[in-house]
Structure 1
Amino acid sequence: MATHAAPTAGRRSPRRTVTRLDKHLPVDFRLNRVYRVGAGLMGLVLLAFGILGLINEIGFFSTGGATVAGLNTNGALSVLSICVGLLLFIGMVIGGNFASTLNMILGIAFILSGFINLALLGTAYNFLAFHLQNVLFSFVVGLMLMVFGMYGRVTGGLPHDNPYWRTRHPEEAAQEMLVNRKATTPPMPVVRRK
């Protein structure tokens, strides 16, 4: 015989806490610099590649084998690189969790792009004129963006002063805060009467 207690109308069931990673990170937190630098560096690389591709006046969907900095390119790939580079610069300016999330999303997009374009090599559907070196570049940029975006945010060993750890472990963080407050509060002086 199962003994299940029926929920009562006045009692609330415990709600599951949802971690919102975009609200609790302070603007001046030290990880913000990592997110901004990552977005800025990768944005600069992509912007330079795209501008150099447009300066060479390559056809928009040309697959003739024009190269810029050792990578094949065409007009479409150059414009796409400029757009993504500008998006990363916007992430750098905004900073914080926006830059971190943008780095992670674009990193995943670059890795997927590498796999998709690897499958399209040598076919008529290779509109962006990718070659193997472009695929490898896409993988490297994707991994770099993901590292910059996930830094200090996704790991099993976050320090306990990290806001991501505190959000994921609210009970333990409250206990540690209480212990730290007691440890830093000086004892009350003893007043003796004469």
Structure 2
Amino acid sequence: MTGRKKEAPHPVHTVHRVGAVVLGLVLWVFGSLGLSRGLEFFSTSGQAVLGLSSNGLLSVISLATGAVLIGCAAWGGKQASTVTTAFGGVFLLSGLLHLAVLNSPWNVLAFRMPNVLFSLVVGLVLLFTGLYGRLSGGLPPDNPYRQQHPIRERRPDPEEQLVEQRRPPEDEERRYEEAEIAMGEGHPTPEQTQIVLRDQARRRAVERARARRRAAGGRS
């Protein structure tokens, strides 16, 4: 007996996970180089690492942040999206706050202007990566966040809408009922047989669309 084939991750989730891994690795490299140079932990002047200023505390924070990003990417696309979005906001806030404390005793992470610019740019990249495919008024039907949205339960897929638009009007509905009765009694005309078969095909299409929506909504 063969196992069930694992479905490929949705491209939106792939973007979230790849973005988190790439940025996590960049922070790991930066933090590792800082620790390997034995930087003073709470120095406010710092030393140059990859064109940025760093001290021991900033190196440890960079390693921890990179580990969280990579860990969430391994966990799942939705988790990576949430964490990268949150970290994006933290990086932006950090850049703005350190801009106010440059060259002061409160600059405990030894920031310099390149660090501020780096923090702002990384924050924007993290926000874009985390929110990619989540904030849009025209998400495609297979988008996992569109399917999981609470309003989605009351809003059918475009495919379902087309199927529902093909629903027969009231007089055809009456003809279908007559055809269904004739089929049950075993003496339908060829036209009545076609009416019943067409309606059954329409109902199966609706069920397939709903099944695809539920299956896609359960992906990580």
1:53 aligns with 2:22: no
- Contact 1:39–1:103 (8 Å) recurs in 2: yes
Any idea what the Cα deviations from partners look like across 1:65-104, whole Å, max 9, x if unmatched?
Answer: 4100000000000000000000011011112211100010
The residue number in structure 2 matching 1:114 is 95
Quick check: 1:163 aligned with 2:150? no
In structure 2, the partner of 1:91 is: 72
Say what the alpha-carbon RMSD is for the aligned residues. Answer: 2.4
- Larger Rg: 1 or 2? 2
The answer to whether structure 1 residue 173 and structure 2 residue 173 are counterparts is: no
**Partner SS state of residue 72, structure 1:** strand
Gaps of 5+ in 2: 1-6, 167-188, 192-220
> Larger deviation: 39-48 or 171-180?
171-180
Deviation at 1:176, TM superposition (A): 4.4
**Once the 2 structures are TM-superposed, how far is the Cα of residue 27 of structure 1 from its aligned partner?**
7.6
Shift of 1:49: 0.2
Q: Which has the higher helix share?
A: 2
Contact 1:39 1:88 (C-alpha < 8 Å) held by counterparts: yes
Q: CA separation in 1, counterparts of 2:54 and 2:79?
A: 30
Q: In structure 1, how many angstroms separate the alpha carbons of the residues matched to 2:114 and 2:29?
A: 17
Query: Which amino acid in structure 2 is aligned with residue 72 of structure 1?
Result: S
Within 2, Cα distance between the matches of 1:85 and 1:145? 12
Check whether the contact 1:27–1:96 (CA below 8 A) recurs between aligned residues.
no
- In the alignment, the residues of structure 1 paired with residue 134 and residue 157 of structure 2 have an alpha-carbon distance, to the nearest angstrom, of 20
Amino acid at match of 2:39: I
Q: Deviations over 1:78-134 (max 9, x none)?
A: 000000000011011112211100010011011011111111111111010000100
- The amino acid that maps onto 1:73 is S
Highest relative contact order (Cα 8 Å, sep 6+), 1 or 2? 1
Shift of 1:174: 5.6
TM-score by length of 1: 0.75
Amino acid at match of 2:142: D
- Structure 1 equivalent of residue 50 of structure 2: 69
Q: Which runs of 5+ in 1 are unaligned?
A: 1-25, 184-189
Determine the C-alpha separation between the residues in 2 that align with 1:68 and 1:175.
52
- The answer as to 2:116 corresponding to 1:135 is yes
Q: What are the superposed Cα offsets for residues 167-189 of structure 1, whole Å, 9 maximum, x if unpaired?
A: 23432326742534887xxxxxx
Q: For residue 180 of structure 2, what is the aligned residue in structure 1?
A: none
Identify the range of structure 1 (60-69 vs 37-46) with the bigger mean alpha-carbon deviation: 60-69
Residue from 18, 21, 32 that aligns with 1:40: 21
> Which has the higher mean CA deviation after the structures are superposed, 84-93 or 158-167?
158-167
Please name the residue that 2:210 is paired with.
none
- Amino acid in structure 2 at the alignment position of 1:152: G
Matched, 1:147 2:128: yes
Q: Secondary structure at the match of 1:173?
A: coil
Question: Identity of aligned pairs, percent?
Answer: 43
Q: Cα deviation per residue 1:40-73 (whole Å; 9 max; x = unaligned)?
A: 0000000000000011111001123410000000
